Structure 1
Amino acid sequence: MNNATIAVLITCYNRCNITLYCLQALYQQNVAFNVYLVDDGSSDGTADIVKANYPLVNILKGNGNLFWVGGMHLAFSEALKRNYDYYLWLNDDTILDANALSKLQTTHHQLVEKGYPNSIIVGSTRDAISGKPTYGGAVKSKIWYSNKYEFVQPSQELQECDTMYGNCVLIPNSVAEKVGNLDPAFIHTLGDLDYGLRARQLDCSVWIAPGYVGTCSKNSVRGSWVDTKLSVHERLNKILQIKGYPIRAWTVFVRRHSGNFWFLYWILPYLRAIIGYKNLNESPAFTEETQQQNSKA
């Protein structure tokens, strides 16, 4: 396990200081790895500053329209050429705790011993100030009329789940060989959830590592399509944008993962945008609140 090769996959856009903090914590880990960082057209000098401070980082240039899924797809595709033992998805606003990578590897090693070699390991994050859980594993709601994937709070035990949010996810090569890359049908949201669900369809499993692996603040829903302070027209406009539920991507997702009656679920987020949410703390799982990726405008 100590000799395992790891590719760390990150995508960034115009938040240089945040990206640097992420890399600083990453390079304090006690395991070896290679970083593949996609800079999707930043105008703040991110690529040059990262290269000056971390010359070993493999910097890949985006065209400015990759967003999270496109950026991670590019990083993943480059890393897959080297056939690493592990691939780590890491959001650039996730600050890893000491020994986080070792913890994720150890968790996978334990699952291999239990007969689950094709297992994705999800690292849970907490808010740096409040300590409250923010991102990690997810399970499909048990309410029959719901199409939400609900966050699972970490415990001190391993927990199996249905899928995950992509802030910190360790994917062993055996899973990557089965599932492949992120699906470019998605642009910014849904790609991480889709990957975990596709992995399970291919007889892989998704597990939440015990405890936390780092910190990451939760994105605010203010100004998003679930913000009832916006007009119906504004909410509908926002839900159709890249960070909401673009029609093509959402159609792919529900047809793939919502069963024979997917068309009934397809309309739900658009109806919700019209009706509005009375309580932003009860917003659905597929919004900016849980899509933790780059804050690309």
Structure 2
Amino acid sequence: MNKSISVAVVMTVFNRKEQTEKCISSILKEMDHMNLNIDFYVTDDGSNDGTHDLFKHYQEIYTNNKFVVLKGSGNLFWNKGMHLAYGEALKHSSYDFYLWVNNDVEFFTGFLSGILKDYSRAREKQNYVIICGGVRYKDKNELSYGGAINHSETNPYNRTLLTPNGDIQECDCVNGNCLLIPSGTATLIGNIDERYEHGFGDFDYGYRLVRAGGKPYVASEFVGKCDRNSIVGSWKDTSLPINKRFLLKNKPTGQPPYSHKIFLKKWFPKLWFYYWIKPYIG
């Protein structure tokens, strides 16, 4: 690949400065191995740990790369923060690819060349694709986040995560920890759905692509490492009192009723009410 490939990296951050630095540095290292032009579009949703200064530092060092940092309200969380940053990136149609990342992922050397090769393989099968990069736990070779296949048209939770196996695999829904979106697909699908408060937007994006006639694929190899969020202290923690779990579930970072309802009615309409009410009754 002699022609420079342009990539707009999209992320939303709230504190976690050290993890953000590891993430960005691991992405920028890809320019040492490929002819790449990488710009960053970031929502800083009220960080108070020096994250904003970190991006200023990167801009001073990497003068040929853009670091566009948008200020959030402090209440955007993941989905709305990604909507803001991705929307800004989409205003610039000159990019070959958009890359969604979570700032807690530390990427492996050569990950970007790997998923770009996977994209070329996928394009032989389908015009409109996205490539979901699976990430593994930091201390074991086991999938933490990635793409999944659905086994039911009515049960949103009957699905299986796909572990990278050396070849691309078709999937139905995707996690946004590492998601490569070609410009053609970005134009077709547009921005992430702003209505979701925190989660659901990445799964929704994959489903929208399928509905539009495209296809998500899981990358052939692990792209980086990132531990799965612990359920300890969350609404899924069965050791907590039920009233505490109820309050945690309804927070934006839990499974808030508004977002959950939108997602279920949109993609699993036959039994949406059952799965919407189920967490409250058992």
- Fold match by TM threshold 0.5: yes
Distance 2:156 2:210 in 1: 20
Output the amino acid matched with 2:99.
L
TM-score (norm 2): 0.91
TM-score (norm 1): 0.87
Output the amino acid matched with 1:77.
G
Aligned residues: CA RMSD: 1.6
Output the amino acid matched with 2:117.
T
The answer as to whether partners of 2:153 and 2:268 remain within 8 angstroms in 1 is: no
Distance 2:238 2:47 in 1: 32
The answer as to whether partners of 1:140 and 1:148 remain within 8 angstroms in 2 is: yes
Partner of 1:286: none
> 259-268 or 240-249: which moved more?
259-268
What's the CA shift for 1:230? 0.4
Query: 1:174-185 to 2 correspondence within 5 Å?
Result: 174-185=184-195
Output the amino acid matched with 1:8.
V
The answer as to whether partners of 2:209 and 2:215 remain within 8 angstroms in 1 is: yes
> Secondary structure of the residue that 1:155 maps to in structure 2?
coil
> Secondary structure of the residue that 1:267 maps to in structure 2?
helix
1:118-160 per-residue CA deviation (whole Å, 9 max, x = no partner) reads 1010101111212221111012244965634432212112100
Q: Does 1:261 align with 2:261?
A: no
2:52 to 47, 51, 64: 47
> Secondary structure of the residue that 1:120 maps to in structure 2?
strand
Q: Which runs of 5+ in 1 are unaligned?
A: 276-297
Distance 1:58 1:243 in 2: 25
Distance 2:155 2:27 in 1: 41
> Secondary structure of the residue that 1:228 maps to in structure 2?
coil
Distance 2:27 2:155 in 1: 41
Distance 1:150 1:238 in 2: 26
Partner of 2:121: 110
Partner of 1:18: 19
What's the CA shift for 1:49? 2.3
1:166-225 per-residue CA deviation (whole Å, 9 max, x = no partner) reads 100001111111111110110111111111111111111000010111111111000111
Q: How many residues align?
A: 271
Partner of 1:279: none
The answer as to whether partners of 2:155 and 2:271 remain within 8 angstroms in 1 is: no
Percent identity (aligned): 36
1:63-96 per-residue CA deviation (whole Å, 9 max, x = no partner) reads 1111111111111111111112211001101111
Partner of 1:285: none
The answer as to whether partners of 2:12 and 2:102 remain within 8 angstroms in 1 is: yes
Distance 1:165 1:119 in 2: 15
Do the aligned partners of residues 146 and 34 (structure 1) sit closer, same or farther apart at CA in structure 2, a change above 3 Å counting? closer
Partner of 1:87: 98
Output the amino acid matched with 1:212.
F
Q: Which runs of 5+ in 2 are unaligned?
A: 61-65
What's the CA shift for 1:236? 1.1
What's the CA shift for 1:247? 1.3
> Secondary structure of the residue that 1:225 maps to in structure 2?
coil
Distance 1:67 1:11 in 2: 8
Query: 1:104-253 to 2 correspondence within 5 Å?
Result: 104-112=115-123, 114-142=124-152, 145=155, 147-253=157-263
Do the aligned partners of residues 148 and 240 (structure 1) sit closer, same or farther apart at CA in structure 2, a change above 3 Å counting? farther
The answer as to whether partners of 2:154 and 2:270 remain within 8 angstroms in 1 is: no
Distance 2:153 2:173 in 1: 17
What's the CA shift for 1:13? 0.6
Distance 1:98 1:21 in 2: 12
The answer as to whether partners of 1:127 and 1:217 remain within 8 angstroms in 2 is: yes
Distance 1:142 1:202 in 2: 19
The answer as to whether partners of 1:5 and 1:32 remain within 8 angstroms in 2 is: yes
> Secondary structure of the residue that 1:89 maps to in structure 2?
strand
Distance 1:8 1:82 in 2: 12
What's the CA shift for 1:3? 2.7
The answer as to whether partners of 1:165 and 1:192 remain within 8 angstroms in 2 is: yes
Q: Does 1:29 align with 2:30?
A: yes
